[in-house]
Amino acid sequence: MIVSLTLVGVVLFAPAAFAIDEVVAASIQGGSRKFLGFGVGFGLAFAAAFGALAQGRAAAAALEGMARNPNAKLMPSLILSLALIESLVIYSLVMSFLLLGKV
C-alpha cells in the first residue's frame, strides 16, 4: 500500500518538477545565493552535532565492551571508528568553505 502510494505521488508530481523553464530556474538560482551562508551554517552545525553524538555512542559501546571482556583489543577499532566519524565532520567543514567561496 505504501509503495503504491509513493509510486502514485512520484508519477503525479515528477512532471511538475521538470516543467520549470529557464527563466524561473535562473531567478531561483540568483535568489538562492543569499541563503547559501545560512544553509552552510546549518549544515556544519548538524554535521558537528550528529558527529559528536555518534562519537559518544561509539565510545560508550567500546567502554561497555571493555567492561564485559577486559582482555579484548577494542582500542584500535575504537580509534579507527572515531577517526572516520571525525573525517565526515571535517569534510563538511571543507565543503562549507568551498560553498562560501562561491558567494
Give the number of other Cβ atoms within 10 Å of residue 40's Cβ.
19
Would you kindly state where each structural domain of the chain is located, as residue ranges?
A: 2-101
| Rounded Cα–Cα distance for residues 35 and 26 (Å) | 15
CB 86 within 8 A of CB 51: yes
User: What's the pLDDT score for residue 26?
Assistant: 58
pLDDT digits (tens, 9 = 90+) for 41-72: 888 888 888 888 888 898 888 888 888 887 87
| Rounded Cα–Cα distance for residues 94 and 96 (Å) | 5
Whether the predicted model's global pTM rises above the 0.85 cut = no
For domain 2-101, the CATH architecture is Up-down Bundle (1.20)
Q: Indicate if the pLDDT at residue 82 is higher than 80.
A: yes
